[in-house]
Amino acid sequence: MYLNNIVEAIGNTPLVKLNKVTEGVKATVLAKVEYFNPGNSVKDRMALRMIEDAEKAGIIKPGGTIIEGTSGNTGMGLALAAIAKGYKCIFTMSDKQSPEKINILKAVGAEVVVCPTNVAPEHPDSYYSVAKRLNQEITNSFYPNQYDNLSNTAAHYDTSGPEIWQQTDGKITCFAAGVGTGGTICGISKYLKEQNADLKVVGIDTYGSVFKKYKETGVFDENEIYPYATEGIGEDILPKNVDFSLIDTFIKVTDKDGALMTRRLAKEEGLFVGWSCGSAVYGALEYAKEHLTEQDTLVVVLPDHGTRYLGKIYNDDWMRAQGYLD
């Protein structure tokens, strides 16, 4: 048996028990290891779905161009789908993303436009604004807009959620994931809560992001917004894919705690993962220590692979320069 193209390899990723980093936690902790997708990240699932839904709606036609603002992983998923389907890709990225991410996207044939991080989302030079402008200028182009495109959530409702339910034999009682666009956590949460209404969902946020305070108060507080280093989680906007009713609580994790846990996952569990994976695990374990018992099964999503962060998290000099290592 063989696959007709690389995108047919998306999904059915393994669930792996964490054994060493879980000291002091009574619950069984399982990691959904999404780097087994062909683009090495969870974003392959929704990238393919956004393109397929756009094709069905007639938004993109043969020979078209996909234009998206990405922190790297969605771009990779879109690029693989574009190769299989014959589209061109242009991606806008903020300049805080690692050089590896930019080079990987170029390697799979995408054009990359790097934009400044420290500007407001509505600023004409932000990576959101540049993507929108290019979409208006280029004919037969499709701007998926992963933040507000509900195909993002639908992909996880249809694939990731059922996989986790089946892989745990329905024993999952708590689910945790980083929140960026919101598609992963909300798609999976919606499916799992339909199977078990008592299931608790923990969103992992970062300092410098608006999510946690918005969930707790309903206030979009611009004072919460400031630059942070962690890639792939937290936002300075409220994406339509973030359905706060599906997330029971948020935990914020510092850049340093996320970075150090990322390295621990590689050294102690053999899971060579990306920065937001460490953040997700750190936050999930903090929640588990306080709220979960031996009867609980906690599943946490590990979104991507460590190759994206060789120049940062896995570089001792960089880690020391940030003050993360002594």
Q: What is the 8-class DSSP label of residue 24? A: T
CATH number reported for the structural domain that contains residue 53 in this entry: 3.40.50.1100
> What is the reported pLDDT for 265?
98
Residues 6+ apart with CB under 8 A from 142: 51, 54, 59, 60, 64, 65, 66, 67, 135
**Partners of 65 in the β-ladder:** 88, 141
Considering the candidates 26, 32, 43, 267, report the single residue annotated as catalytic. Answer: 43
Q: Which of 145, 98, 101 is nearest to 121 (CA)?
A: 145
> What is the reported pLDDT for 76?
95
**pLDDT digits over 33-53, tens only?**
999 999 999 999 999 999 999
What are the φ and ψ backbone dihedral angles of 109, each rounded to 5 degrees?
Answer: 90, 5
> What is the reported pLDDT for 300?
98
Q: Which of 286, 17, 300, 296 is nearest to 173 (CA)?
A: 296
Is 154 inside a domain boundary? no
> What is the reported pLDDT for 97?
82
Which strands, in side-by-side order, build the sheet including 200-206? 15-17, 28-33, 297-302, 174-178, 200-206, 249-253
- The H helix count followed by the E strand count for the chain is 11, 10
Residue 118 has pLDDT above 90, yes or no: no
Residue 147 has pLDDT above 90, yes or no: yes
How far apart, in whole angstroms, are the C-alpha atoms of residue 152 and residue 172?
23
Please indicate, yes or no, whether residues 95 and 223 belong to a single structural domain of this protein. no
How far apart, in whole angstroms, are the C-alpha atoms of residue 93 and residue 27?
38
Strand stretches in 111-164, DSSP E:
111-115, 141-142
Please indicate, yes or no, whether residues 137 and 68 belong to a single structural domain of this protein. yes
Please indicate, yes or no, whether residues 266 and 299 belong to a single structural domain of this protein. yes
Q: Which domain holds residue 93?
A: 43-142
Please indicate, yes or no, whether residues 26 and 64 belong to a single structural domain of this protein. no
Helix (H) or strand (E) holding 177: strand 174-178
Residue 99 has pLDDT above 90, yes or no: no
Helix (H) or strand (E) holding 252: strand 249-253
Tokens for 211, please give them. Answer: 């999510």
Q: What is the pTM of this model?
A: 0.95
Q: Of 115, 142, 169, which residue is a domain's last?
A: 142
Please indicate, yes or no, whether residues 164 and 276 belong to a single structural domain of this protein. yes
Please indicate, yes or no, whether residues 68 and 18 belong to a single structural domain of this protein. no
Helix 43-56 to helix 151-158 angle (10° resolution) is 120
> What is the reported pLDDT for 70?
87
Please indicate, yes or no, whether residues 79 and 97 belong to a single structural domain of this protein. yes
Residues 6+ apart with CB under 8 A from 317: none
- Round the average pLDDT of the chain to a whole number and report it: 96
Tell me how many domains the chain contains: 2
At 125, which amino acid appears?
D
Please indicate, yes or no, whether residues 103 and 165 belong to a single structural domain of this protein. no
Is 67 inside a domain boundary? yes
**pLDDT digits over 239-248, tens only?**
999 999 999 9
Please indicate, yes or no, whether residues 198 and 316 belong to a single structural domain of this protein. yes
Please indicate, yes or no, whether residues 165 and 278 belong to a single structural domain of this protein. yes
Is 326 inside a domain boundary? no
**pLDDT digits over 171-214, tens only?**
999 999 999 999 999 999 999 999 999 999 999 999 999 999 99
Q: Of 84, 114, 142, which residue is a domain's last?
A: 142
Please indicate, yes or no, whether residues 216 and 275 belong to a single structural domain of this protein. yes
User: For this structure, is 215 an active site residue?
Assistant: no
Is 1 inside a domain boundary? no
Is 150 inside a domain boundary? no
